[in-house]
């Protein structure tokens, strides 16, 4: 019954998306527009010029149904998905009923098993190290795409985008000038496991509605923050569904590889 209620809530959340951006542009076409400029720099291009070309030379390959990974980041590292957040993802699975494939948690244990020898200690990890861990673990689980996401809560009476300092790996996709008042925020990026192509970025917020204003003990406060986190993830699940819908349309049209970025903001 609880899962059914979450699934029903997920459908309603689609009408109040927070912020998302979808990309299906082609690296080949992007670089082709600058062939003349690059030819003029032949033999004298800088290291950054070469890096830009290598970074840009990536192509979208979005196909459904697919195996889509869910990778939870906390403290800058890949962690297991908490039970309450798992319920939110289960609600998305039930709501979609296999429309885009299946959702699979990325296992921190499997990611650790396939880490290369000489990997630096986790306390020295950078954002790129964490994302590399996620992609390697997802590859071993034979996942096609992976949503890496973070969740942060705010204890301030008036939350703002600057309150959520824990979102250090992915950060938040918030349009400039937007005022944010929320108990929790969840931010994610959907990438291709095989080539790292970024298909979508999204951020969702859990507002104060439905959360108790009376906090008497640390334990109650902790439980409320967990509820806020789960609510933010449920909102993020709604964002992901909207992004998958757009990507599915792009994947069946001629726009793949020559498309443009689209962004959307809700209330």
Residue 106 lies in a domain: yes
Query: For the chain, what percent of residues have pLDDT higher than 90?
Result: 50
Q: Nearest 5°: CA angle at 125, between 121 and 128?
A: 140
Mean pLDDT of 123-134: 93
Residue 50 lies in a domain: no
Taking 90 as the threshold, does the pLDDT of residue 105 lie above it? yes
Close Cβ partners of 5 (under 8 Å, ≥ 6 residues apart): none
Please tell me the least confidently modeled range out of 5-19, 69-83, 98-112, 217-231. Answer: 5-19
What is the per-residue pLDDT for 16? 45
By DSSP bridging, strand 101-105 and strand 66-74 are parallel
Residue 266 lies in a domain: no
What is the per-residue pLDDT for 183? 81
Residue 127 lies in a domain: yes
Taking 70 as the threshold, does the pLDDT of residue 142 lie above it? yes
Segments forming the whole domain that contains residue 202: 2-25+60-258
Residue 26 vs residue 259, higher pLDDT: 26
Among 204, 197, 267, which residue's Cα sits nearest to residue 240?
Answer: 204
Residue 41 lies in a domain: no
By DSSP bridging, strand 198-206 and strand 19-22 are antiparallel
Taking 90 as the threshold, does the pLDDT of residue 192 lie above it? yes
Mean pLDDT of 230-257: 87
pLDDT band at residue 184 using 50, 70 and 90 as cut-offs: confident
Residue 40 lies in a domain: no
Rounded to an integer, what distance in angstroms lies between the CA atom of residue 221 and that of residue 40? 62
Rounded to an integer, what distance in angstroms lies between the CA atom of residue 202 and that of residue 167? 13
**Total number of domains constituting the chain:** 1
Rounded to an integer, what distance in angstroms lies between the CA atom of residue 243 and that of residue 264? 10
pLDDT averaged over every residue in the chain:
80
Close Cβ partners of 109 (under 8 Å, ≥ 6 residues apart): none
Question: Cβ of 178: how many Cβ atoms within 10 Å?
Answer: 11
Q: Using CB atoms within 10 Å of the CB of residue 166, give its burial: 0 to 12 exposed, 13 to 18 middle, 19+ buried.
A: middle
Mean pLDDT of 227-245: 93
pLDDT tens digits, residue range 43-102? 556 888 888 889 999 999 999 999 999 999 998 999 999 999 999 999 999 999 999 999
Residue 53 lies in a domain: no
Rounded to an integer, what distance in angstroms lies between the CA atom of residue 237 and that of residue 38? 41
Record the tokens describing residue 125, joined without a space.
């990890």
């Amino acid at each position: 019954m609880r899962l059914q209620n979450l699934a029903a809530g997920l459908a309603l959340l689609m009408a109040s998306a927070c912020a998302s951006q979808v990309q299906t542009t082609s690296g080949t076409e992007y670089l082709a527009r600058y062939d003349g400029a690059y030819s003029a720099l032949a033999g004298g291009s800088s290291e950054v010029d070469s890096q830009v070309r290598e970074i840009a030379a990536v192509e979208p390959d979005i196909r459904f149904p697919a195996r889509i990974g869910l990778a939870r980041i906390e403290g800058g590292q890949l962690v297991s998905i908490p039970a309450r957040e798992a319920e939110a993802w289960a609600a998305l699975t039930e709501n979609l009923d296999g429309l885009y494939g299946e959702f699979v948690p990325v296992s921190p244990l499997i990611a650790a098993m396939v880490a290369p020898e000489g990997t630096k200690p986790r306390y020295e990890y950078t954002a790129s190290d964490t994302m590399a861990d996620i992609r390697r673990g997802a590859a071993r689980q034979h996942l096609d795409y992976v949503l890496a996401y973070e969740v942060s809560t705010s204890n301030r009476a008036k939350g703002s985008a600057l309150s959520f300092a824990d979102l250090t790996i992915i950060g938040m996709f918030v349009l400039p000038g937007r005022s944010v008042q929320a108990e929790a925020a969840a931010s994610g990026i959907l990438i291709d496991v095989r080539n790292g192509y970024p298909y979508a970025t999204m951020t969702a917020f859990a507002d104060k509605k439905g959360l108790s204003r009376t906090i008497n003990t640390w334990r109650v406060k902790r439980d409320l923050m967990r509820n806020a986190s789960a609510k933010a993830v449920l909102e993020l699940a709604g964002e992901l569904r909207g992004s998958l819908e757009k990507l599915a349309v792009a994947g069946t049209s001629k726009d793949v590889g020559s498309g443009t970025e689209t962004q959307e903001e809700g209330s």
